[in-house]
Amino acid sequence: MILSRFYQQQNLRTRLIFAFMLTVLIPLLGTSLYGNWITSQTLQSRAVEAAQADLHLRHLQMEETLRGVEENLLFLSQMNSLTALINGRSLENLARAQIDFADFVSTHPDIFQARYLDETGLEIVRIDATPQGQALLPPPDQLQNKANRYYFIQTMALPLGAVFISPIDLNREFGQIQQPHTPTLRYATAVVAADGTPAGIVIFNINAERLLQFVRGDTLSLTDDAGYFLAHANPNFEWGSPVDLNSGINLQTIYPGSWQEIRQTDQGVILPQPESSWQAAWEFITPFVANEDGRRVLAFETVQAGGNRWHLINDLPRAALFAPIETFRITAVFIVIWAMILAAGIAMLFSRQIAQPIQQLTAKARQFGQTHGAVLPRHPAPSAPTRYEIDELADAFQDMTFALERQMSQLTQLNLAGHHIAARLEQSEVFMAVSSAVHRIFPVEYLIISLQETILHQDGEITWAAYRHESLPNIVQKQALAEGNWTTIPLSEANLPSGYLCCAPLCVEGKIGLIELYGADSILDSQATGELLATLAVQVSIALENAELVARLALRRAELQALLVQILSAQEEERRRVAYDIHDGLIQMLVGVRLQLNNYLAERELEPEHRGQLQKGIDGLATAIVEARRVIEGLRPAALDDLGLVETIRYAAKELCREKGCQLHFVDDVADGRLPPAVETTAFRILQEAFTNARKYAQMSHLYVTLKQDAEMFYATVKDDGDGFDMGQVITTKEGGFGLRSMQERARLLGGDCVVESEIGVGTAVYITLPIRNEP
What radius of gyration, in Å, describes the C-alpha atoms of the chain?
Answer: 43
Spatial distance between the Cα atoms of 157 and 155, rounded to a whole number of angstroms: 5
Q: What is the DSSP letter of 225?
A: T
The answer to whether 150 and 143 have CB atoms below 8 angstroms apart is no
Residue partners of 583: CB distance under 8 A and separation at least 6:
629, 632, 638
pTM of the entire structure? 0.40
Residue 646 and residue 615 share a domain:
no
| Pairing between β-strand 511-519 and β-strand 446-451 as defined by DSSP bridges | antiparallel
Count of domains forming the chain: 4
Residue 758 and residue 620 share a domain:
no
What pLDDT band is residue 103 in, cutting at 50, 70 and 90?
A: very high
Relative orientation angle of helices 12-22 and 389-422, to the nearest 10 degrees: 100
Question: Please, what is the Cα angle at 549 between 547 and 553, to 5 degrees?
Answer: 115
Answer positive or negative: Cα dihedral of 684, 687, 689, 695: negative
Residue 271 and residue 189 share a domain:
no
Spatial distance between the Cα atoms of 131 and 178, rounded to a whole number of angstroms: 13
Residue partners of 755: CB distance under 8 A and separation at least 6:
766, 767
Question: Is 44 a residue whose pLDDT tops 60?
Answer: yes
Domain-located, residue 47:
no
Kindly report, residue by residue over 439-460, the tens digit of the pLDDT: 888 888 888 888 877 888 888 8
**What domain range is 176 assigned to?**
78-215
Q: What was the pLDDT predicted at 715?
A: 92
What pLDDT band is residue 322 in, cutting at 50, 70 and 90?
A: low
**Amino acid at position 551, single letter:** A
What pLDDT band is residue 382 in, cutting at 50, 70 and 90?
A: very low
Residue 488 and residue 585 share a domain:
yes
Q: What was the pLDDT predicted at 21?
A: 61
Domain-located, residue 345:
no
Domain of 664, CATH number, reads 3.30.565.10
Domain-located, residue 696:
yes
Q: What was the pLDDT predicted at 416?
A: 78
What pLDDT band is residue 96 in, cutting at 50, 70 and 90?
A: very high
Neighbours of 578 (CB within 10 A): 14
Spatial distance between the Cα atoms of 526 and 501, rounded to a whole number of angstroms: 11
Q: What was the pLDDT predicted at 253?
A: 85
Domain-located, residue 382:
no
Residue 517 and residue 479 share a domain:
yes
Chain-centre distance for alpha carbon 293: 53
Residue 481 and residue 586 share a domain:
yes
Kindly report, residue by residue over 728-768, the tens digit of the pLDDT: 776 666 555 677 788 888 888 888 899 999 888 888 999 99
Domain-located, residue 114:
yes
- According to DSSP, the residues that pair with 191 across neighbouring strands are 200
| Pairing between β-strand 702-709 and β-strand 663-669 as defined by DSSP bridges | parallel
What pLDDT band is residue 124 in, cutting at 50, 70 and 90?
A: very high
> How many Cα atoms within 13 Å fall on the side-chain side of residue 110?
21
Kindly report, residue by residue over 608-633, the tens digit of the pLDDT: 776 677 777 777 777 776 666 566 65
Domain-located, residue 516:
yes
- Among 265, 288, 321, the domain boundary falls at 321
Residue 233 and residue 199 share a domain:
no
- Among 215, 233, 260, the domain boundary falls at 215
What pLDDT band is residue 203 in, cutting at 50, 70 and 90?
A: very high
Kindly report, residue by residue over 480-537, the tens digit of the pLDDT: 667 777 888 888 877 788 888 888 888 877 777 788 888 888 888 888 888 888 888 8
Q: What was the pLDDT predicted at 279?
A: 65
Residue 539 and residue 433 share a domain:
yes
**Amino acid at position 291, single letter:** N
| CA distances for 134 relative to 158, 178, 555, 689, angstroms | 32, 18, 62, 51
Domain of 224, CATH number, reads 3.30.450.20
Domain-located, residue 278:
yes
Q: What was the pLDDT predicted at 143?
A: 92
Residue 260 and residue 138 share a domain:
no
Spatial distance between the Cα atoms of 571 and 565, rounded to a whole number of angstroms: 10
Spatial distance between the Cα atoms of 385 and 590, rounded to a whole number of angstroms: 124
Domain-located, residue 83:
yes
- Among 613, 636, 659, the domain boundary falls at 636
Residue 455 and residue 602 share a domain:
yes
Residue 278 and residue 143 share a domain:
no
Q: What was the pLDDT predicted at 376?
A: 44
Residues in the chain: 776
| CA distances for 429 relative to 183, 276, 287, 324, 417, angstroms | 51, 65, 68, 71, 13
Tell me the longest C-alpha to C-alpha distance in the chain: 157
Most confident of 331-335, 584-588, 686-690: 686-690
Q: What was the pLDDT predicted at 293?
A: 40
What pLDDT band is residue 202 in, cutting at 50, 70 and 90?
A: very high
Spatial distance between the Cα atoms of 691 and 653, rounded to a whole number of angstroms: 7
**Residue 768: which of 722, 714, 725, 732 has the closest Cα?**
714
Residue 178 and residue 91 share a domain:
yes
**pLDDT higher for 616 or 160?**
160
**Residue 679: which of 569, 577, 564 has the closest Cα?**
569
